[in-house]
Structure 1
Amino acid sequence: MSKSAFVLYILIAVHLQESLTFNAQTVSTQSTEGQCGGYCFNALKPMLDHIAANQQRWSTCDATLLESTARQDRMESQLAALKDKLSSIEAGKEVPKVNKLENFVQIGSRFFYIEELREVNWFSGTNICRQMGGFLASPRNEEELIAIKEKLRKGRQYWLGISDLAKEGTFVSQATGDLAPLQKWSPSQPDNHGNNEHCVHLQYENFWMNDLPCTYKNYFLCEAGDG
């Protein structure tokens, strides 16, 4: 059967349904044949039977589709409500301000933090000071170092923000990236013992500077960042 003939049959079937206002499940073979004629009825009967047989299934499918659409609408409405709630929470959330000088003490003209509870390696000390808004400390002059030493506990050692990790023998300040402004070394130091001493700390004897392996654990000093 050609496509145009099939379309014609469909149109005839629709016309018959509207003009006779029949129910596809109860229409009688005799009344349809009388309205359409034998040949027309024989041609349309398979389609009418198909409509009658599937009408219930189509009705069920329509109901399911409507239910799915309604469910999707409800989900979209709930999602929109959640987005609005999240936006409200984010808008009302206060971002805590970090007080960079919290727990820092003023020594001379600058602020320092002295860790007295934890012993960590040089890299961990670096990370902790950065989280506090500063750096491992690099004393700028001997007067400042003397003032710092007065705050330290005897018998303890403290990491400074000085190392020659980039170039052996060139001790750089972590805070500035320049040569450490003060290098007050203990006698015979630095010696890079075992070719593995690249981080600087204050020794417990006199709190002068000494090089150590960066993985050793010591207390540490932070200086507040300029920002």
Structure 2
Amino acid sequence: MFELAALVLFVLIAGYPCGALASSSKKESPGSQNKELETRCNPYCFWTIEPIMDHYQALKDEITAQKELQGFERIGSDLYYIEHVKTLNWTDASEACRKMSARITDIKDEKDYRAVLTRLGERKYWTDITKRGEEKEYTSASTGRKAPFIKWFTGETDNKSNTHCLAINGRQDGRMWDDDCSFDHYYICKRVKNVEK
């Protein structure tokens, strides 16, 4: 940590005489900042500061990536966030996952199911499997296709309402329950690439 502080101090001191600290009202990309610095500095100044700026940007990017993954754990080949404290309805749980650049989890197969199940407490956790309105089969909310895997708890497919969302029930050997989507349960997020925040 001391090395990072020393590096930042050096950039600030070295950059000040060259105009590196000149403020700009518009946000600029790192490349345009380098061009501005190159025109304001003499060649030696720019040659000295550019590698430091590149290293500093790489450190910032690494810290940002680590913050985004905080709370996620690798289970199998995927990254999961399992919420054990706060309960939400299905829609809000899905939104909470999206804000973490993740999706409410899908369950692909028995292996995927067993791997996640080992991390759950004795509570209900939302999955992305739903049957809404007049749909006749359960689908994955993330793909829109028929759910590839469901492990039903006995008698759980006969709810009368038009909104059905599936939750894994950790108390009942992890079997899946068909619940009203407005009920509050814990939830599981799965990290996926290219999810808009």
Percent of pairs with identical residues? 28
Question: Matches of 1:121 and 1:111 in 2, distance apart?
Answer: 22
Q: Which has the higher helix share?
A: 1
TM-score, scaled to structure 1 = 0.55
CA contact (8 A) 2:134 2:162 kept: no
Residue 73 of structure 2 aligns to which amino acid in structure 1?
V
Partner of residue 202, structure 1: 168
The residue number in structure 1 matching 2:188 is 221
Counterpart mapping for 1:127-166 below 5 A: 127-154=95-122, 156-165=123-132
Q: Is the 8 A contact 2:133 2:163 kept in 1?
A: no
The structure with the greater share of residues assigned to strand is 2
- Distance (Å, rounded) in 2 between the aligned partners of 1:101 and 1:170: 34
Partner of 1:91: 27
CA distance in 2, matches of 1:100, 1:179: 30
Unaligned runs of 5+ in 1: 1-86
Flag as ranges the 4+ runs of structure 1 deviating above 4 A.
92-100
Matched-pair contact (CA < 8 Å) for 1:100–1:224: no
Aligned to 2:84: 116
Q: Is the 8 A contact 1:135 1:174 kept in 2?
A: no
Residue identity in the other structure for 1:172: T
Q: Partners of 2:25 and 2:70 in 1: how far apart?
A: 28
CA distance in 2 between partners of 1:169 and 1:112 (Å): 29
Q: CA RMSD in A?
A: 2.4
CA contact (8 A) 1:158 1:202 kept: yes
- Normalising to structure 2: TM-score of the pair? 0.63
Tell me the matched-pair count: 139
Amino acid aligned to 1:200: L
Residue of 137, 155, 174 corresponding to 1:170: 137
2:130 maps to a residue whose letter is S
C-alpha separation between the residues in 1 aligned to 2:73 and 2:161?
A: 36
How much does 1:166 deviate? Answer: 5.3
Consecutive unaligned residues in structure 2, runs of 5 or more: 1-22, 31-59
**Over alpha carbons, which structure has the higher Rg?**
1
SS in 1 for 2:132: coil
Amino acid at match of 2:84: E
Report the Cα distance in structure 1 between the residues aligned to 2:89 and 2:72, rounded to whole angstroms.
21
> Match of 2:20?
none
Structure 1 residues 196 and 108, CA gap change in structure 2 (3 angstroms): same
Asked if 2 retains the 8 angstrom alpha-carbon contact of 1:197 and 1:211, the reply is: no
Q: Counterparts of 1:133 and 1:103 in 2: how far apart (Å)? A: 13
Q: Give a deviation string over 1:82-101, Cα, whole Å, max 9, x none.
A: xxxxx814326999856653
What secondary structure, in the 3-state scheme, does the structure 2 residue paired with 1:145 have?
A: helix
Alpha-carbon shift at residue 202 of structure 1 (Å): 0.9
Q: Distance in 2 between matches of 1:208 and 1:89?
A: 56
CA distance in 1, matches of 2:143, 2:189: 14
CA gap of 1:225–1:171, structure 2 versus 1, over 3 A, is same
